[in-house]
Amino acid sequence: MSLYLKPLLFLYDSTLSLLLLLFSGWSLEDAAAAHERLEADNNAAESEWRQIQYLWRKTRSLVLLPVFKGLVVLCLVISIIVFLESFYMNFVILFVKLFRRKPEKVYKWEAMQEDVEVGPQNYPMVLVQIPMYNEKEVFQLSIAAVCSMLWPSTRLVVQVVDDSTDPVVREGVDIEIAKWQSQGINIRCERRDNRNGYKAGAMKEALTHNYVKQCDFVAVFDADFQPEPDYLMRAVPFLVHNPDVALVQARWIFVNANECLMTRMQEMSLNYHFKVEQESGSTRHAFFGFNGTAGVWRISAIEAAGGWNSRTTVEDMDLAVRVGLHGWKFVFLNDLTVRNELPSKFKAYRFQQHRWSCGPANLFRKMTMEIIYNKRVTIWKKFYVIYSFFFIRKVAVHFLTFFFYCIIVPTSVFFPEIHIPSWSTIYIPSLISIFHTMATPRSFYLVLFWILFENVMAMHRSKGTCIGLLEGGRVNEWVVTEKLGDLKKKLLSQVVPRKSCYERINSKEVMVGIYILGCAFYGLINGHTWLHFYLFLQATAFFVSGFGFIGT
């Protein structure tokens, strides 16, 4: 019985005694009996409350404290290995910068030149694929950029792999293709009558056409990607002069990075991915995950690995891992950039991050044993792929970012007996954040916003990772990331309807924000020194995202 019922019992017994006096007259015996009953009830209530308190103390000390302490220790261990991985990758990048280990110095590279006798026939045949699905706003940009690349027209085939279901988009693509065909470009469109396998299914079928058999290499550009004219001239020589190289990957740059705060923070995360993760993998192991676009493949390497596979939503990473396990090398070119568009709507970004976290976790589940039993690569490379590439970067970092900084640290205000060391909550996160911002120096002043926003997005990444590892219901969900093209022009030329408050609310972010805010107030009331300041900021970040005040 709760302690709060004791005053109610006292009022109840007092009222009965008063009514007895009013209707039956004064009786010392009745008054004494009422008093004795009141004392007995109070003693019973106090005894039950003490029993509840005793059970709670026992449960807290024997169950909750050990479990929470174990979770804290686990998070501290993951913090150390994530920091060591980040430090190692940045040390490799420092080594690359100091010794100027550019790919042109590591691999053989010579500019392509026409032969005096045979003309451009010494150039390899290159297939350029542009996969798209109802890309109404951007298909013209990508087709125009690809058709403007510097490469002999007789040695280039442009293939628009169009899975669009919108008749307006299909008609627009046909008109654009006809325009470039009239200018002498060998461009054609390939369509299917289904969407089986999504992008992987379309790409696999597109490579089966007869004219593809004469091509040596295939470059892939998603519908919003715009390569520079010299892209092929700079990338293809690595494949021509190095027969053990299967993939040359360019770095992404973003045409709308300054659109809003959300795109600025995305730029910080993706710059770190390319400039640190991709380049360190290329330098130390000649392996990294294909980004699905802005890369050139050796077609024979794709065929040797079994081609495109649609078993996960990260068909690009799946292909890269299988090709890498066949012993091929990958080259990342940090100086070769391709423009593209970042999602500027929060909902679109959430769907993208779900796919980018769920897919790798599901692929990790499906390929771990295949990697272990592989005999074509060294044990060191297998260890790198399983431990560093998959476990640390695709699984552990998401769980650490969300569960430690958004669940364990806030909950610690209820367990003052357990001390979380400062190095795990201040020093290590600060160093990792500095490592990330070094890839985008112009955004250094946004580091605090970036930390808070990354913690919010870690909730969706952790959820996606769990679904991928457990093969949950949304494991194969594929939502095409919405592109807007020239966003500023669109906002000026049309009225954008405002969503209602209910439509803008993201319930998961709001609920987590409420919990962290409650922990912040509890910490403030009970005198925690610095923790509640961080909790108030993090709760605010969840509320800003939860009520839709982020993105365009």
Report, as residue numbers or ranges, the catalytic residues: 163, 316
CB crowding 147-170: b at 16 or more within 10 Å, else e? bebebbeebbbbbbbbbbeeeebe
Q: Are 250 and 294 in contact (CB under 8 A)?
A: yes
Q: Are 172 and 132 in contact (CB under 8 A)?
A: no
CB atoms within 10 A of CB 27: 12
Token pair 């990075």 in the structure block, residue = 257
Among candidate residues 39, 486, 510, the one with its CA nearest the CA of residue 226: 486
- The H or E element spanning position 434 is helix 428-438
Among candidate residues 296, 283, 329, 361, the one with its CA nearest the CA of residue 88: 283
Strands of 226-227's sheet in order across: 187-190, 156-162, 126-132, 217-220, 295-298, 245-254, 329-340, 226-227
Q: Tell me if residue 482 falls in helix, strand or coil.
A: coil
Q: How far apart are the first and last CA of the chain?
A: 53
